Structures are given as structure tokens and as C-alpha cells.
């Protein structure tokens, strides 16, 4: 009886564990299958074609792909220096009394749902951009900034964790040699934590490129390559969020699945790269 | 300027720069928090819990439908996701171990799926659960949320079980206990607090998901408790109300945002406290 139960428990946990692989495989499979009509119709030209006209049954993903890349790049350019600054502050500069409350509140902010960042962007940030640059206030720049604010807590927390792994003894030796704080940071902490910092950044990038709700509010969903940074634009997740529920069967629908598949492959690749190249967990 | 003075100057410059960037980052985050709290508290009143959605302009409109819908969606996905996640995590730690190739592949895939775009999971569920039935449904939303939740629970369970000392397992084996009993009564019990923390964080994470619900459970402006129909959630309601041009709807959106964030922050804080008490006991 015990033997039977033992086998049963082993096999049932195994099959549930395998389920996770199955689901991941099924996501790829189903997206591919649904995207097939669009792939047959447009081939890889889909990726470089910039016309998105549902009424003419003509679809090209170029504006969405460019929008995704540009908004993410903008967000990264803004968030990386600030995140590293926050991380240096938290791990090296802040007095012990401040470290833990500030650190914990940053981690808690990373838990706030992205839809709330999006809402804040729409009500409080869009008017500022509108006043500063004119136009609608909705567009690439706003999306990039909101995205940067959204990934900041996550990025800062992970970067700080990476910096905190530097052994005290290394830092103390450097101080003993007469190094200033900055010497210690640039010659000891950053080189030691380099892989972790780069990994954290790429992981944040992988998340940002697939982020939907923070940017859907403020991007505008216009399928055109923006000629100016404050122009409305679109990105893959924004297009999906806006058009999925209203698309009808056929090529339109299939094109949206094609977009989803491209997004899944891109972010899967980025996250996997961050994990395998930089964030190898110790599995001794 | 001597060399030493130069070094001291650069050091000071960088310290100020870094503190400033920290201040900027923290200021932005405080800004969001203040906005959330002020708008939320202003918008919250008894009506929110007493009434369902109504056309803009009606005095008697609330979020009852979304609160109940959200509770059902999160509740049922927790009931599905937590046991599956714990059992899968148990396999990884107890049968797979750290050297098993299969277990490591599952770990890596779960890690990746934890950060994968949730809107893609929504479109996947749409293809298999919405399109074939021809309509949106609460169940589809639950499937999407469970898919997101399982990797989180799986990884924390795996990590927490590995913290249970091997000697405990050996002691139980030596008493003649079969493996499943050792796992259920010794290992899982020993890692109880850690797993509970993982569950809390998993639930918190899933509660804020909006993108995978947009085209699975969709939305409903009225109270619905039938999971085979479209059902309201706080997040999608928040999205729809916030993007509407009506001021009273936008206000309801802020109320929803406030309630949801307090819930999520509460779960996170609770999870942290649990871990702290565990550390203290040791």
C-alpha cells in the first residue's frame, strides 16, 4: 500500500511539474498555429512592412516593433542611471537607519501593479508633457518615462542586491589602502557585482518590452513611425491590448497573434539571455 | 589642485550625484503613492461597496460588481494555482534535486515564464478558451491567472523545501516512513512558513494583473457571479473607468486602484513579517 502511494505521489508531482513545460510549449505552438494565416499571407515582410490597415486587410508590424524598441530604449536610458544611483545610495552611502526603510519601500513599490503606474501617467504626467511640448501629451516620450518609473523599483532593488554581495573584507581592504568611497565603488563593488548588475538591467529590459498596462494609457496606439519623440505611437503590447477584443476572425486576428508570437519570442530570448549569461544561480 | 584634493572632489561629486538620483527616484515613487492615496481616500465611500456599476452621472454607482468578481477570479485561481505550484515545486526539490537535468530545465523555464509578458498569456488563453466557445468567460481569466501564478509558487516552494535540513528527512526515513509521508509530514510541514510567504506573494502578483484579463474574463459593468460569463475585475474596471471621459467614473477608477494597491501591499507586508518571525525563531 505504501509502495503504491509512494509511486502515485511521485508520478503525480512529476506530471504536474511537466505541465509547466507543456504549457510553455503550448503557448509557442498555439501562437504559431494562430499566426499561420498571417505568416502565409505576409511572410517575414510582416516585420518590416509599416502599413497597418485593417479595412484593407494589409498588416505590417514595423511601427509596433519600432515603437516597442524605442519606448523600451528610452525607458532604459532614463532608468539605468537612476537605478544605479539608487542602488549605490542604498548599498554604500545611506546611513544604516535609512537603508532598510528606503530599501523596503522601494521593494514594495515594485509590487504595485503596472496598471496604476499607467493611470498615474495618464492623469498626472500627460498634462505636463502637453504643457511642455504641446500636442496631445500622449506618445513615445510619455510612454518611455512612465515605463522608466515603473521598472525603476525592480531594477534598483535587484542592482542593490547584486552590489550587496560584495564581501565586506574586499571593501575594507580598499578603504585601508586609502581609497575614497568612490574608489571603492568603481574599483571594488561595481567590478565585483558587474554580472549581477548587467543581468538585472537586461531582465528589467525583458520585462519592460512586454509591459502592457503602464504604456497602453499613454502611448496612443497609432500605427505610424513617429516623426517626433512626442508623437503618438504604438508598441506590440499596446496594439494587442487595444485591438484584440475588437478584431474579427481572419487575417486581422491572425496578424495580432503574429504580433503576440514575435513579442513572446523577443522577451523569452532577452530574459533567457539575462538568466543564462549573467544571473546563473549558484547550484552547488 | 593636488591629486588628493582632486580625488576628494570627485568622490564628493559622485556621492552627491548618486544621492540626488536616489532622491529623484524616490520623489517619483512618493509622487505616485501620494496621488494614489489622496485620490483613493477622496473617492472611497460607502456607495462603492453597496452599488454595482451604473451609467455615468448616477449617484448610486459603485464597485461591488468588480470587488466580487475580482475576489472570485483571484480566489479560484489561487485554489488552482497554489496546489499545482506546490506539488510541482515538491517534485523539483524532493524527487528532482539540484542535479537532475529535467528539474533544472523546469526551473529555468519557470524563471523565464515569471517575467514573460502577461498579455501574451492572455492571447494564448483567448485562442484555446475564448475563441472555441465564442464568448469571454471568467474561467478563461482564471486559467490565465493560474498560468501566471504557478511558476511563482513552484519556484518559492522549491527554494523553501531545499532549506529543510537533510538530517530531518533522514531521521524520518530511519523511522521507516515511506517517502511520500516524509515529504507530506516532515518536509512540507517544516517549510510551511516559507511556502505561505510564496503563496502570499504569488497571490499579490496575480491580483494586479490586467493585461491577461482584457480578453479573457473581459468585463461586466454589473454584478455577475457566473464564471462561464464575462466577469468584472478591479483591474479591468479601473482601466475602463480611468480611460473614460466621465469624472465620476474616473473617481471610481481611483477608488479601485486604491483598494487594490492596499490589498497587494498588505499581502506583501504580511509575507515579509512571516519571514521575519521565522528568522527570529531560529
DSSP string, B110-127: HHHHHHS-HHHHHHHHII
All residues at 6 or more sequence positions from A260 whose CB lies less than 8 Å from its CB, including other chains: A31, A35, A236, A240, B119, B120, B123, B124
Asked if the model's pLDDT at residue A117 lies above 80, the reply is: yes
Q: Which chain A residues are within 8 Å of B154, Cβ to Cβ?
A: 17, 20
Rounded CA-CA distance A156/A197 in Å is 9
Tell me the pLDDT tens digit for each residue of A45-72. Answer: 999 988 898 888 889 999 999 999 999 9
The confidence score (pLDDT) of residue B280 equals: 66
All residues at 6 or more sequence positions from B223 whose CB lies less than 8 Å from its CB, including other chains: B52, B64, B65, B68, B69, B232
Tell me the pLDDT tens digit for each residue of A151-192. Answer: 999 999 999 999 999 999 999 999 999 999 999 999 999 999
Asked if the model's pLDDT at residue B229 lies above 60, the reply is: yes
In three-state secondary structure terms, A53 is: strand
Mutate to test the interface with A, among B35, B102, B124, B249 (most CBs of A within 10 A): B124
Asked if the model's pLDDT at residue B38 lies above 80, the reply is: yes
CB contact under 8 A, A20 and B10: no
Rounded CA-CA distance B88/B149 in Å is 12
Do the beta carbons of residue A169 and residue B38 sit within 8 Å? no
Beta bridge partners of A53: A58
The confidence score (pLDDT) of residue A259 equals: 94
The confidence score (pLDDT) of residue A14 equals: 94
| Burial zone of A257 (CB within 10 Å; 0-12 exposed, 13-18 middle, 19+ buried) | buried
The confidence score (pLDDT) of residue B253 equals: 94
DSSP string computed for A213-253: HHHHHHHB---S--SSTTS-B--HHHHHHHHTTT--TTHHH
Distance, CA of B190 to chain centre: 24
The confidence score (pLDDT) of residue A284 equals: 31
Tell me the pLDDT tens digit for each residue of A32-51. Answer: 999 999 999 998 999 998 88
> What is the arithmetic mean of pLDDT over B73-92?
96
Q: pLDDT band for position A276 (50/70/90)?
A: confident
CATH fold of the domain at A54-278: MetI-like fold (1.10.3720)
The confidence score (pLDDT) of residue A283 equals: 41
Residue listed under C-alpha cell 499581502: B267
Identify the closest residue of chain A to B23 by CA–CA distance.
A86
Q: Quick check: A250 contacting B, CB < 8 Å? A: no
Highest mean pLDDT among B24-28, B52-56, B62-66, B278-282: B62-66
Q: Which chain B residues are within 8 Å of A150, Cβ to Cβ?
A: none
CB contact under 8 A, B242 and A149: no
Tell which residue, A213, A229, A211, has the closest CA to residue A270: A211
Q: Considering chain B, what percentage of its residues have pLDDT values greater than 90?
A: 71
DSSP string computed for A2-15: HHHHHHHHHHHHHH
The confidence score (pLDDT) of residue A174 equals: 94
Q: Quick check: A34 contacting B, CB < 8 Å? A: yes
CB contact under 8 A, A85 and B17: yes
Asked if the model's pLDDT at residue B282 lies above 60, the reply is: no
Q: Which chain B residues are within 8 Å of A85, Cβ to Cβ?
A: 17-22, 24-25
> What is the arithmetic mean of pLDDT over B68-77?
96
Rounded CA-CA distance B166/B171 in Å is 9
Rounded CA-CA distance A91/A83 in Å is 12
User: Which candidate from A81, A115, A260 shows the least CB-CB separation from B120?
Assistant: A260
Distance from CA of A261 to the nearest CA of B (A): 8
CB contact under 8 A, A31 and B124: yes
Asked if the model's pLDDT at residue A268 lies above 80, the reply is: yes
Give me chain B's average pLDDT, please: 91
* Backbone dihedral angles phi then psi of residue A24, each to the nearest 5 degrees: -60, -45
Q: Which chain B residues are within 8 Å of A23, Cβ to Cβ?
A: 147, 150
Question: Cell triple for residue A1?
Answer: 500500500
Higher pLDDT, A248 or A156: A156
> What is the arithmetic mean of pLDDT over A125-138?
89
The confidence score (pLDDT) of residue B281 equals: 61
Q: Which chain A residues are within 8 Å of B111, Cβ to Cβ?
A: 271, 275
CB contact under 8 A, B15 and A182: yes
* Backbone dihedral angles phi then psi of residue B144, each to the nearest 5 degrees: -60, -45
Q: Locate the domains of chain A by residue range.
A: 54-278
* Degrees to nearest 5, angle at CA A105 with A104 and A110: 95
ipTM above 0.85, yes or no: yes
User: Which candidate from B33, B84, B265 shows the least CB-CB separation from A111?
Assistant: B265
Give me chain A's average pLDDT, please: 91
pTM: 0.94
User: Which candidate from B103, B124, B257 shows the least CB-CB separation from A116?
Assistant: B257
Question: Between A and B, how many residue pairs show a Cβ–Cβ distance under 8 A?
Answer: 261
Beta bridge partners of A58: A53
Q: Which chain A residues are within 8 Å of B108, Cβ to Cβ?
A: 272, 275-276
> What is the arithmetic mean of pLDDT over A274-279?
85
* Backbone dihedral angles phi then psi of residue B159, each to the nearest 5 degrees: -60, -45
Report the b/e string of A122-145 with b at 16+ CB within 10 A. bbebbeebbeebeeebbbbbbbbb
Identify the closest residue of chain B to A1 by CA–CA distance.
B178
Do the beta carbons of residue A86 and residue A106 sit within 8 Å? yes
Asked if the model's pLDDT at residue A281 lies above 80, the reply is: no
Do the beta carbons of residue A219 and residue A67 sit within 8 Å? yes
Asked if the model's pLDDT at residue B137 lies above 70, the reply is: yes
Q: pLDDT band for position B259 (50/70/90)?
A: very high
Q: Which of residues 47-76 of A touch B (CB under 8 A)?
A: none
Asked if the model's pLDDT at residue B221 lies above 90, the reply is: no
Tell me the pLDDT tens digit for each residue of B172-200. Answer: 999 999 999 999 999 999 899 999 999 99
The confidence score (pLDDT) of residue B275 equals: 83
Q: Quick check: A81 contacting B, CB < 8 Å? A: yes
The confidence score (pLDDT) of residue B1 equals: 75
User: Which candidate from B19, B102, B120 shows the least CB-CB separation from A263?
Assistant: B120
Amino acid at each position: 500500500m505504501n509502495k503504491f502511494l509512494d509511486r502515485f505521489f511521485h508520478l503525480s508531482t512529476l506530471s504536474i511539474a511537466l505541465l509547466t513545460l507543456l504549457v510553455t510549449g503550448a503557448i509557442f505552438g498555439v501562437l504559431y498555429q494562430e499566426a499561420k494565416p498571417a505568416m502565409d499571407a505576409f511572410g517575414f515582410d510582416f516585420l518590416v512592412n509599416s502599413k497597418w490597415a485593417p479595412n484593407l486587410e494589409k498588416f505590417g508590424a514595423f511601427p509596433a516593433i519600432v515603437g516597442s524598441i524605442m519606448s523600451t530604449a528610452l525607458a532604459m536610458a532614463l532608468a539605468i542611471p537612476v537605478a544605479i544611483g539608487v542602488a549605490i545610495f542604498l548599498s554604500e552611502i545611506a546611513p544604516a537607519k535609512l537603508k532598510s526603510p528606503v530599501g523596503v519601500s522601494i521593494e514594495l513599490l515594485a509590487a504595485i501593479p503596472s496598471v496604476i503606474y499607467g493611470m498615474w501617467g495618464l492623469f498626472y504626467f500627460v498634462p505636463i508633457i502637453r504643457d511642455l511640448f504641446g500636442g496631445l501629451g500622449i506618445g513615445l516620450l510619455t510612454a518611455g518615462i512612465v515605463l522608466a518609473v515603473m521598472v525603476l523599483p525592480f531594477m534598483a532593488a535587484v542592482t542593490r542586491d547584486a552590489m550587496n554581495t560584495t564581501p565586506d573584507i574586499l571593501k575594507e581592504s580598499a578603504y585601508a589602502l586609502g581609497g575614497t568611497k568612490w574608489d571603492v565603488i568603481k574599483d571594488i563593488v561595481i567590478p565585483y557585482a558587474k554580472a549581477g548588475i548587467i543581468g538585472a538591467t537586461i531582465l528589467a529590459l525583458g520585462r519592460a518590452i512586454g509591459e502592457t498596462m503602464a504604456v497602453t494609457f499613454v502611448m496612443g496606439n497609432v500605427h505610424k513611425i513617429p516623426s517626433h519623440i512626442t508623437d503618438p505611437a504604438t508598441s506590440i503590447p499596446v496594439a494587442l491590448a487595444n485591438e484584440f477584443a475588437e478584431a474579427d476572425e481572419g487575417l486581422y486576428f491572425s496578424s495580432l497573434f503574429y504580433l503576440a508570437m514575435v513579442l513572446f519570442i523577443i522577451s523569452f530570448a532577452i530574459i533567457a539571455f539575462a538568466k543564462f549569461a549573467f544571473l546563473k544561480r549558484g547550484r552547488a | 589642485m593636488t591629486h588628493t584634493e582632486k580625488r576628494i572632489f570627485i568622490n564628493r561629486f559622485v556621492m552627491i550625484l548618486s544621492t540626488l538620483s536616489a532622491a529623484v527616484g524616490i520623489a517619483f515613487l512618493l509622487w505616485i503613492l501620494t496621488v494614489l492615496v489622496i485620490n483613493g481616500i477622496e473617492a472611497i465611500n460607502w456607495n462603492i461597496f453597496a452599488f454595482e456599476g451604473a451609467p455615468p452621472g448616477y449617484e448610486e454607482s459603485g464597485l461591488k460588481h468588480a470587488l466580487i468578481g475580482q475576489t472570485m477570479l483571484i480566489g479560484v485561481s489561487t485554489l488552482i494555482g497554489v496546489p499545482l505550484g506546490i506539488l510541482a515545486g515538491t517534485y523539483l526539490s524532493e524527487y528532482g534535486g539540484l542535479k537532475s537535468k529535467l528539474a533544472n530545465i523546469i526551473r529555468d523555464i519557470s524563471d523565464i515564464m515569471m517575467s514573460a509578458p502577461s498579455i501574451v498569456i492572455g492571447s494564448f488563453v483567448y485562442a484555446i478558451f475564448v475563441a472555441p466557445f465564442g464568448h469571454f468567460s471568467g474561467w478563461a481569466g482564471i486559467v490565465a491567472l493560474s498560468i501566471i501564478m504557478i511558476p511563482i509558487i513552484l519556484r518559492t516552494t522549491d527554494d523553501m523545501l531545499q532549506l529543510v535540513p537533510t538530517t530531518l528527512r533522514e531521521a524520518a526515513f530511519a523511522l521507516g516512513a515511506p517517502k511520500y509521508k516524509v515529504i507530506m509530514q516532515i518536509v512540507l510541514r517544516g517549510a510551511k512558513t516559507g511556502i505561505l510567504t510564496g503563496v502570499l506573494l504569488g497571490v499579490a502578483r496575480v491580483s494586479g494583473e490586467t493585461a491577461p484579463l482584457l480578453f479573457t474574463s473581459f468585463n461586466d459593468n454589473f454584478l455577475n457571479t457566473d464564471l462561464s460569463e464575462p466577469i468584472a475585475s478591479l483591474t479591468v474596471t479601473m482601466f475602463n473607468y480611468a480611460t473614460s471621459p466621465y469624472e465620476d467614473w474616473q473617481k471610481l477608477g481611483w477608488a479601485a486602484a486604491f483598494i487594490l494597491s492596499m490589498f497587494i501591499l498588505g499581502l506583501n507586508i504580511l509575507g515579509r513579517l512571516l519571514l521575519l518571525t521565522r528568522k527570529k525563531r531560529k
